[in-house]
A and B are shown apart, each in its own frame.
Chain A
């Protein structure tokens, strides 16, 4: 990790990672819901 000297650098660093994690998290949650509901869809013949 590059050295962080100012609050601006800290915020840029942490927020950049957090926003990437948020995006991945939303995708992961969508996939997880799909995984969780697979049997329901199978039962109702909805895909």
Chain B
């Protein structure tokens, strides 16, 4: 691997981030011990009114939405033929694969009997349930993402034949399968909340929730690819080859343009949702104000900022806007699953996550970042492996 980009100025083991990560891992290990020895009640503020808390709202809903960069990037490259985005496919696939893998990992903390997670797929499928559909899609899509990511690992290990089979024969099939599965489960996550019309605030509840979740996952994915690319260029610049560096500006312009128009469409659809249910009167309430903050501050504003960034070729503005968009998606999923959920309950019965729940979520995100770093510093993610150059799709 002598031809790969040089790793100059390799930092030592004791860095501020490593020390922070080690601390988080120790606390996370302790919290994990508490969770699995004392049950959900020992660590969380979940109760019969609020059986889904931070771990569903953040780890699952946000995790799945932000991992949408995998299907958006591979579709842009392999289905729409935008080969200039090719260098971004591997990092996006890796982010999506790790995102989904850690969604499933986080789910082990949240379900009462995690060892029964495979049951809905292999033992007792509840085919009439939306959760079954979500579970099946996530299970299948995680498998698809794993197969899409495996060539990087095989190149690293120097295994040629299986890698060639996947890259040359399966790439397009896997991409199409991934889009179909993503369309299904991204929207189904929204559809889950349509079974609770009396619990979810009318401004967030809509018959179009599945559509909202799916459309918002598209710009979440595009924004996440821009943000992940920005951070990677800052911290892993020395690992990138020339193709990756050269195509980066073009990538963020293209993706920002896509995200901007999708966000504008999403904004209009949200207005139509209010209109279809005649919920205008709620806009004058406190919840209405919060809804408008989300809609204008984290949908309309980033859409407009992306547009300005694209028109002026202002890369810094696009990069900052991607962070704003990602935050907006997190806010939206929090609003649906936590803030606007059970809105009619008295304050004493409302849910607020415990420190333990925050701790586990931070632990899982830190673990994800560490695995991401482990992989990109070893495998050909930001560069083409010298032995396999020009054998990509």
Contacts and interface: CB of A to CB of B under 8 A. Distances in A.
Interface residues of B, number: 17
Interface in B259-286: 260-261, 264-265, 268, 271-272, 275-278
Interface in B190-229: none
A36 B311 contact: yes
A21 B280 CA distance: 13
B265 A29 contact: yes
A36 B272 contact: no
A20 B57 CA distance: 35
Contact of A36 (B260, B265, B275, B276): B260
Contacts of B265: 29
A17 interface: yes
Contacts of B313: 39
Given A14-B278, A21-B271, A22-B272, A29 B261 contact: yes
A36 B268 contact: no
A13 B310 CA distance: 39
B307 interface: yes
Interface string A10-40: 1001110110011001001100110111110
Interface string B372-387: 0000000000000000
A39 B257 CA distance: 12
A10 B277 CA distance: 9
Contact of B278 (A13, A35, A38): A13
A15 B265 CA distance: 19
Given A36-B307, A38-B311, A28 B261 contact: no
Contact of A29 (B264, B275, B277): B264
- Most B CB atoms within 10 A — which of A18, A28, A37? A18
Interface in B61-100: none
A6 B276 CA distance: 16
Nearest to A37: B257
A40 B257 CA distance: 11
Nearest to A32: B264
- Most B CB atoms within 10 A — which of A17, A28, A32? A32
A43 to B, nearest CB: 10
Contacts of B264: 28-29, 32
B278 A21 contact: no
A18 B369 CA distance: 44
Nearest to B268: A25
A18 B275 CA distance: 6
A36 B310 contact: yes
- Most A CB atoms within 10 A — which of B257, B272, B275? B275
Nearest to A16: B275
A38 B313 CA distance: 12
A21 B268 CA distance: 8
A17 B311 contact: no
Contacts of A14: 275-278
Interface of A: 10, 13-15, 17-18, 21-22, 25, 28-29, 32-33, 35-39
Given A14-B275, A35-B311, 13 more contacts: A14-B276, A14-B278, A15-B276, A18-B272, A21-B268, A28-B264, A29-B261, A29-B264, A29-B268, A32-B307, A36-B257, A39-B310, A39-B313
